[in-house]
Every structure is written in structure tokens, then in C-alpha cells.
Amino acid sequence: MKEIEVKIRLPDVCAVPKLVSHLKTLNARQVGVTRERNHIFDLENRFLKGKGCMLRVREGLIGSPSSITFKGPAEESLLSKVKVREEVETEIQNPQAIIRLLRNLGLEVKCTYAKIRQTYELCGAMVQIDEVAGLGYFVEIEDSDERKIKELIRVCRLERFERITKSYPDMVEENSGSKAFRTDL
């Protein structure tokens, strides 16, 4: 399956309730709230990262689902700062067993970060508001149509905020040297 998404950095926590309120006026349907710990795996030589790929075990917390995900390298996008790439994901029942299995295969945890995600459905697209430990607040809009994503950025009044193409693991690794950096919420 193709993952097509845009990621937007929100300026601070105050932007979250404003966005949620606006989504409600647009009749967005809240799909759920999840708490998760994400473990990014790679070989010692960072083979996957070097190919632009990622292998993630998402450990659902407090009743949230767990999954394992492979993301392929980013492809050319029709629109600026929209990420398009292959994504293969499946739900798992025992994330700790999968983590042990991957370690036994020679993969290492290169990055771990926690996230709280609020998910809304708007016009068939997913609008996800993320609080990522140590990084701040973000919105991801996912849909199969890049032009619809661009329109939803406008409708949700997000044009003035910074669009970013870096993954959360890349941002975590950049910031992990900071004394104030947190990996848990």
C-alpha cells in the first residue's frame, strides 16, 4: 500500500485544542486516541536507513493496538513536502516477542520514542494530531490523493505552519543529545 502524507509542525500545545475545535466544526469524526512506544530497527551499519527504508515495531500502550511496519524509500511527489512511499503494516499481539525475534536476527533498536495520537476522519482522509515526546506537536494528513491533502491543509487552516519531511525517528536522533530531550510522555 502507498503511504501518502504531509507532516506539519504545530507551534505549541495551544494550537491543538484550536485545531480540534475547528475539525469538529468541519464535522470531522474522531476515530480514536492511541498511546504508543515506537522502536525503530536497523542493522548495525544502518543498511535500511541508507536505503531510505524503516522497520518499526509500534508497542500499543493502555489498550492501543501494536503493529510492525516496513516503510520503503520515498518516491517523487507531485506536491512539495508530501511524502509518498510504500508501507506494509500488520497488527501484532506480542510486540516484545517481535522485538526479541528481530534482535535475534541481528537487528538493533536504533531509536525509541513515545507518541500520543488523536485520529480524525475528514472527507475520507485521516487527520492525525501527534504529541511526540521531546519533539512537540504535529499534524499528519494521509490520503490516497495528494491534491486532496493540499486542499485539506487549506480547509484545516494549516498553511501557515511548517511542513516537514523528516521522520519522527530522524528528529529524535537529531535532538537526543539535548539534556531536555524526553523519550516518554
Average pLDDT, the chain: 92
- Nearest residue to 57 (alpha-carbon basis) of 75, 70, 73: 70
Which triple of cell numbers denotes residue 174?
A: 537529531
Region of residue 114 (left: phi > 0; alpha: psi -120 to 50; beta: else): beta
Q: What percentage of residues in the chain have a pLDDT greater than 70? A: 93
Check residue 183 and give its pLDDT: 61
Ranges 23-27, 120-124, 143-147: which has the least confidence: 143-147
pTM above 0.85, yes or no: yes
* Model confidence band, residue 182 (pLDDT cutoffs 50, 70, 90): low
Taking 70 as the threshold, does the pLDDT of residue 70 lie above it? yes
> Alpha-carbon torsion 6, 38, 70, 171, what sign?
positive
Neighbours of 183 (CB within 10 A): 15
Please answer whether residues 130 and 35 qualify as being in contact, where contact means their C-beta atoms are separated by less than 8 angstroms.
Answer: no
Alpha helices in the chain (DSSP H): 15-25, 47-50, 95-104, 146-155, 168-175
Torsion angle of the four alpha carbons 104, 34, 114, 121, in this order, in degrees rounded to the nearest 10? 110
Q: Of 68 and 83, which is predicted with more confidence? A: 68
Domains located in the chain, CATH noted:
2-175 (2.40.320.10)
Q: What is the pLDDT of residues 5-61, one digit of tens each?
A: 999 999 999 999 999 999 999 999 999 999 999 999 999 999 999 999 999 999 999
Q: How confident is the model at residue 176 (pLDDT cuts 50, 70, 90)?
A: confident
Residues 185/116, Cβ–Cβ less than 8 Å: yes
Measure the CA–CA gap between 7 and 83, rounded to whole angstroms. 8
d(CA 42, CA 33): 28
Question: pLDDT tens across 82-108, in order?
Answer: 888 999 999 999 999 999 999 999 999
Q: What is the mean pLDDT of residues 72-80?
A: 77
